[in-house]
Amino acid sequence: MLLVLIAMVFGTLAIGGFLTLASTSLKASSKNTDLLWARYAAEAGVNAVTKDLFQGMNVLTSGYTTPSFTINNYSPVISISTPSPGTEPSGSYQYVDPGATRGLKTPGSQTHYFITMDNVKANTNIRINWPFTPVSSPWRLAVYTGLGPPGAPPPTTIAADNFESGNLSGGAGWLAAWSASGLASVITTGTPKQGIYHMLLESATGHAQRNLNLSGRTNVRVQFWAKAVNFNPGDNATLSVSPDGVSFTVVRTWTSTDADSIYRYEDIDISAFSMTTSFYVSFDANMSSGANDFFVDDLKIVSQPVPTPLLQNSGVVSPAGLFVNGSIIAGGQYTFDFFNNSGVAVNTAAYGSGGGSNSTWVHLQAYKDHIISSVAGSNNITVFARQFPGPTDPTTRQNVFLHTWVDP
């Protein structure tokens, strides 16, 4: 009996101790589970920003909306910043895919593709190689400081005429209708650029001019589409402007080398002229026969400051190429403009990291760095992310590298 009583006492003590230990373990396990849920929520915050980087978003601009959500009953607090100079990982020259498998893959006729590179190192030599087919296609490459044309403010339209009125008195913002003479008309044949009408000037007599009030205007540009058809050697068509309607200055000439029957976009800066209350624009045909045609469509007179390229190059045969000497690169943000100036879509050659002449690449020292911080509960995850190539227009998927992941 004594042994039984002793066994019962020790059994009770053992069971009590076990229950206390079990209770403590369950509390610890619950706490660890909460920490784990918070950690997953913090990681989800980092992943949400990284996903936006993959989609080509510029997450450092004021227009970016930081992801906001609740997961595991935690709402991570996300912040994004730029590393201080000297703290980012050291960079080296890289071959960067500018979008050969994405937005630059098949740019259409008269289409621009922009790519912005951030944190371009000062004195960096920049090389661009853009092979495409069909190989006999006009092109232009340009480099801008900053965001370039995508960062320019939208134009303010002063006057416009898309010729959809079917006559020479349509549009808005003008002082009078087109003053026309000779073989000048608004027609439906000849494949307008937009709508069903465009203006036609023929032979050596086609003439059309119109005036508008430009007093007080700045950064004035003439923007329109033009097409030359069947020009003979020596034929030409011109655009002239005049502040007084008497003395005209030719600002654009089309010759037989432009006569490929393709509508091309024109953007002509006339801001150097006096902006008067009666400013004239004039189109003239100087061709040899009625079979020579010059078309104009979707004409606008706008006020729009447009950045000047730091450097540009153009040609008519693939591959397109541009070299920028590092002596003119002060460092910072630069935008590259790939322009298909042909009448057909072109097919960009695949990206290659070896610098081959048959592959598409941009060679430079640049990247866009981010510090992404996501806090959920007691978890604070900080990630150093590097984005290649940077924002593009149109937006395309990016390459994103995570250099460091700090998770205390």
pLDDT digits (tens, 9 = 90+) for 294-312: 999 999 999 999 899 999 9
At 402, the pLDDT band (50, 70, 90 cuts) reads confident
pLDDT(67) > 60 = yes
Please tell me the distance from the alpha carbon of residue 180 to that of residue 168, in angstroms, as a whole number: 8
pLDDT confidence of residue 112: 95
Cα separation values, 76 from 32, 230, 332, Å: 18, 65, 32
Dihedral sign, Cα of residue 248, residue 252, residue 253, residue 259 = negative
pLDDT at 31: 62
Confidence of residue 4 (pLDDT cuts 50, 70, 90): very low
Q: Where are the domains of the chain?
A: 2-83+368-387+395-406, 94-152+308-364, 156-303
User: How would DSSP label each residue in 332-343?
Assistant: EEEEEEEEE-SS
- pLDDT, residue 191, reads 96
Instruction: Say yes or no to pLDDT of 178 above 50.
Output: yes
Whether residue 232 contacts residue 257, with contact meaning beta carbons closer than 8 Å, is answered with no
Q: Average pLDDT, stretch 68-74?
A: 92
Residue 89: predicted pLDDT: 58
Q: What is the pLDDT of residue 272?
A: 94
Q: What pLDDT does residue 141 have? A: 98
Higher pLDDT, 83 or 228: 228
Q: Are 167 and 186 in contact (CB under 8 A)?
A: yes
| The domains spanning 94-152+308-364 and 156-303 adopt the same CATH topology | yes
Whether 255 has a pLDDT exceeding 70, the answer reads yes
94-152+308-364, CATH topology level: Jelly Rolls (2.60.120)
Residue with tokens 């740019």: 107
CATH architecture of 156-303: Sandwich (2.60)
pLDDT at 87: 63
Name the pTM for this structure.
0.69
Residue of 142 and 57 predicted with greater confidence = 142
Q: Is the pLDDT of residue 53 over 80?
A: yes
Task: Give residue 29's pLDDT.
Answer: 64
